[in-house]
Structure 1
Amino acid sequence: MRLSGSRAGSVRLLLSLAALWLSDAKETGTAMTTGDINQQTQESISDYTTKRHDLSTPGSHLTAQDFNQQTNENLTIVLNNISIPGFSSAPVEKPVILADPATIELLCTLNSTSTDSAAINMTWKKDNETVRSGNVTSSKLKNVWSTQYTLNIRERNQMGNYTCIFKSEKEVKATFHVQAPQIDGKEHHVVSYVGDSVVLVCKSVKYTPINWIWYMSNGSDQIAVNDSLMPDKYKINKENNRTTKFKILKISEKDDRSYWCQAEFKLGESTGKVSLKVLTYMVPLKPFLAIAAEVIILVTIIFLYEMYSKKKQVLSDDQKEFEQIEQLKSEDSNGVENSTTRQRKV
């Protein structure tokens, strides 16, 4: 027998809880028969089928027949769950990546042994808005409280943050971030020179975008690049739809700016940034020229110092020679005077 989408979701939820309960019962020594589990499961399914009547999106209202019809449109079912160990746990977050429309089942479980089930209030929020929908199910199996939110994601405005909240004397929460795929890699920088060509690359590893768009900065604005208008300057290539290459020819200093690649998916966009730094060929020569200038200045200083030292040495030698000559003259003069004196004494 084939179950409807809503009933199948409930069966999966209750079977998961039964597995958790049996594991916990094995640890504590408590046992439950298979008949008890089947009876509780059938009762929960019956009660859930009676209460469920809304579409998953907040603010919309569909009958159970409409909901079942929509869930039978062969949408991919994506199950995500977060287990919270207790009220002392920190908030938990988990990304849910969607590139195409899908039915997602968000399941939160709380394990607690110190709080009575009647004292726990379980609610859901989308961003900051409380979800009031019939396709939210909540249940308790021994010391495990659980709440599941099932919704069909078809539009971009359905993407966002979905938070389950367990509130008693304390409060604990878990958040599912439902978002479009992100482009692989963070912002990166590219360096090139005036007159050269450069290729900017963006990739989407796991998901195939339906389109790629390149933008470039123009002051505080971003303008889309149309390579067909300037084929001699820009060329955009999509190799396998998961990779896009943007080639810029005959680079000038005006191309020194930021560029963005945007991958478009059915449920949103993802953007990557590339910063291009354009240098002139004088730039790498500047350090060499600075070193050469320092060497020239140093050699000039050494040369001038040598010239000064040699000149000073020559002057010193001339001075010594002059003093020696003067000394010899003085000695000769003294010799003549002494000879004259001796002659007079005779």
Structure 2
Amino acid sequence: MPAAFFGNRPGRRRLLLLLLLCVSLSGGSPADLTVATQDTSQSQANSLTKMHAGFNESSSASLGPGHTMQLAGQMSVVNYGKYELLLDGDSRSSMERHITLHSATAIELSCRLSKKYSHLKNPEVSWKRGNETIGNVHKTGNSWNIRLEVLDSSKLGSYSCNLIGEEISSMVHLQLPKIDENKKPIISYEGDTAVMICKSHDYAPLSWTWYMTNGSKQVAINDSLADKYVIDRKPTNVTHLKIRKVTEEDDGVYWCEAAFNLGKSKGKQQLIVLSFLVPLKPFLGVVAEVIFFLTVVFLYELYSKRKANAEDEKESDQVEQLKTEEKSGLEKSSARQRKN
């Protein structure tokens, strides 16, 4: 202990003598003093342990969204969240929520009945997953609650709370993070480099995997084909697939898969590979139309000329025939005059 507390050495001796005197008057011994000191230390340690345990129990019971808690029988720490649905019977404001989960999570889903149904004496609300009714529904006031421990994708899906006897329900969807994909097809020309991108907003996957569709199968694209495919995974929530010197065989559907603790999500991309003749098709079409038009004009002119020549020849033949007839008529009249 510090010297300021005990003072000098004579002061220490006086304190020790005083302690020995107290022990003697109480009928104890110096050994009892040591044991008493150890018991006091042990009781203080036990008190601290109980306080710590009590703090853990109370904190686990009062956790809210964004905090962590330890699930029963599980050693890993997971997230905890509480979400509420409202049963009000108004289809326009019928509540439907989408909850995105990427890691193990303890969830409490609460279904609260609107005040407009306060006239009901004993309202009953059931929770369902699909067509399966869920047990262990806890009623608190005007709310019916269920608790889920979502440790894998088997607990994901759609949950609904329904007012028994009435066609009133609300729904919540537990889902993995969605992959932001390009809805429009990616168009590239033969020999170019095609780039496809997938994103996972707000959530970083553990890993990314790209697949290409081969008939009805999906074939994984690995990094061993670096001369053809380049996969970039930085930052972790974005992935790029580069296909070098694309050919018509690369045309098709590609999938990007993001792996999370709870499961895997996929995004779809479509690649269309065009030949260099494709941009020339409109031009070739125009050229073909011009050639066709010129051919028709040429044939029409040729036909017109032939027809004109034929008519000219016919007219000349008629003129020659008239001349011949006139000549023969003159000769006949001359002969008659001579006879007379």
Counterpart among 153, 178, 188 of residue 150 in structure 2: 153
Question: 1:271 corresponds to which letter in structure 2?
Answer: K
> How far apart, in 2, do the equivalents of 1:310 and 1:87 lie?
84
Conserved 8 A contact 1:233-1:249: yes
Tell me the C-alpha RMSD between the 2 structures.
3.1
CA deviation profile, 1:268-302 (whole Å, cap 9, x unmatched): 22111111122222333344434433432332232
Counterpart in 2 of 1:48? none
Q: Residues 284-333 of structure 1: CA distance to partner in whole angstroms, max 9, x if unpaired?
A: 33444344334323322321221121112112112212211221232233
Q: What is the letter of the counterpart of residue 146 of structure 1?
A: S
Larger RCO (alpha carbons 8 Å, 6+ apart): 1
Equivalent of 1:242, from 237, 240, 246?
237
**Are 2:333 and 1:279 equivalent residues in the alignment?**
no
Number of residues paired by the alignment? 280
Counterpart in the other structure of 1:104: 107
Shift of 1:217: 1.2
Q: Normalization by structure 2: what TM-score?
A: 0.71
In structure 1, what residue type is equivalent to 2:125? M
Q: Return the alpha-carbon distance in structure 1 between the equivalents of residues 297 and 132 of structure 2.
A: 80
Bigger CA radius of gyration: 2
- Stretch deviating more after TM superposition (218-227 or 148-157): 148-157
1:200-256 CA-to-partner distances (Å, cap 9, x unmatched) read 1111122211211101112211121112x2111110012311111101112122212
Amino acid aligned to 1:262: E
* Shift of residue 132, structure 1, vs aligned partner: 3.0
1:88/1:309 CA distance change after superposition, 3 Å: closer
Name 1:223's counterpart in structure 2.
Answer: 219
Q: Deviations over 1:25-48 (max 9, x none)?
A: xxxxxxxxxxxxxxxxxxxxxxxx
SS at match of 1:282: coil
- For residue 198 of structure 2, the aligned residue among 202, 225, 228 is 202
* Shift, 1:92, TM fit: 4.5
Change (3 A) 1:325 1:260: same
Identify if the C-alpha distance between structure 1 residues 95 and 5 changes in structure 2 by more than 3 Å, giving closer, same or farther: farther
Call closer, same or farther: CA 1:219–1:300 in 2, change over 3 Å: same
Match of 1:82 in 2: 85
Contact 2:248–2:274 (Cα < 8 Å) also in 1: yes
Relative to 1, partners in 2 of residues 1:98 and 1:232: Cα closer, same or farther, differing over 3 Å?
same
- In 1, the alpha carbon distance for the partners of 2:229 and 2:92 equals 53
> Identity, % of aligned pairs?
35
1:214 to 210, 213, 222: 210
Structure 1: which 4+ aligned runs deviate by more than 4 Å? 66-71, 87-92
> For structure 2, which runs of at least 5 residues remain unmatched after alignment?
1-53, 65-69
Structure 2 contact 71–106 (Cα < 8 Å) conserved: no
Deviations 1:112-150 (A, max 9, x none): 4375332x22232344443333xx43133xxxx311223
Change (3 A) 1:99 1:258: same
**Cα separation, 2, equivalents of 1:224 and 1:67:** 36
Alignment of 1:17-28 (within 5 A): none
Report the Cα distance in structure 2 between the residues aligned to 1:259 and 1:240, rounded to whole angstroms: 21
Deviations 1:151-192 (A, max 9, x none): 34333333233322321x324322221111101246441222
Q: Normalising by structure 1, report the TM-score.
A: 0.70
- Whole-angstrom CA distance in 2 between matches of 1:258 and 1:92: 36
**Contact preservation (8 Å) 1:258, 1:273:** yes
SS in 2 for 1:284: coil
What residue in structure 1 maps to residue 62 of structure 2?
8
Which aligned pairs between 1:126-137 and structure 2 lie closer than 5 A? 126-133=129-136, 136-137=137-138
* Separation in 2, partners of 1:217, 1:235: 17
Q: Contact conserved, 2:71 with 2:149, CA < 8 A, in 1?
A: no
> How do 1:45-56 and structure 2 match up within 5 A?
none
174, 177, 184: which is aligned to 1:178?
A: 174
Contact 2:106-2:147 within 8 A present in 1 as well? yes
